[in-house]
Amino acid sequence: MSGIDILIEEHKYVSRMLIVMRKACFNLIENKEIDYDDFEKMISFVRTFADGHHHKKEEVFLFNRMVEHLGEAGKNAITHGMLVEHDLGRMYIGNLEEALNKLKSGDEEAKLDVIANAISYATLLQNHIHKEDNVIFSFAKRKLSEEVLNVVDKECFEYEEKNSFTREENIGILKALEDKYI
């Protein structure tokens, strides 16, 4: 297994959470009630696992190397594509949290913003994951030298070893939410 294989595997967990988010939003539409704790767990999963754990490995270990070693094509794909989408995702999650707080404070119309931002995040990430798995990671495997890929592998494995609790804790959160919504 390579560092890139770890990233692809993590996409499966993130994709599963995106399904949960969509189901929770549909539940809000159908039942007109929201489970704040569940949405807070989704936000925590995104911030801790998808962004803090997974995106950190992409940005620090792989993307920086692609920008450094793959010329203009690597730079454009990463800085004008993947990193922009990571930032958009962070914006949607921040907006989702803000909407939840407004809803908690009695602003019923904020339900629209909860749904809009959760679904926008889910759609963005579904498309983003598809691009990474099918274009960006393949490009990296083809074009980065074996030496650079070995460094990426080493750094990903070391990071995983030091942070396995983050993975396990968040997979537990995911499974509990899947049991409820799927």
Boundaries of every domain in the chain: 3-181
Which helix H or strand E contains 150, and what residues bound it? Answer: helix 146-162
Correct CATH for 3-181 of 1.20.120.520, 1.10.20.140, 1.25.10.10, 3.40.50.300: 1.20.120.520
Question: What does the pLDDT profile of the chain (182 residues) look like in tens digits?
Answer: 999 999 999 999 999 999 999 999 999 999 888 999 999 999 999 999 999 999 999 999 999 999 999 999 999 999 999 999 999 999 999 999 999 999 999 999 999 999 999 999 999 999 999 999 999 999 999 999 999 999 999 999 999 999 999 999 999 999 999 999 99
- Tokens standing for 52? 């803090």
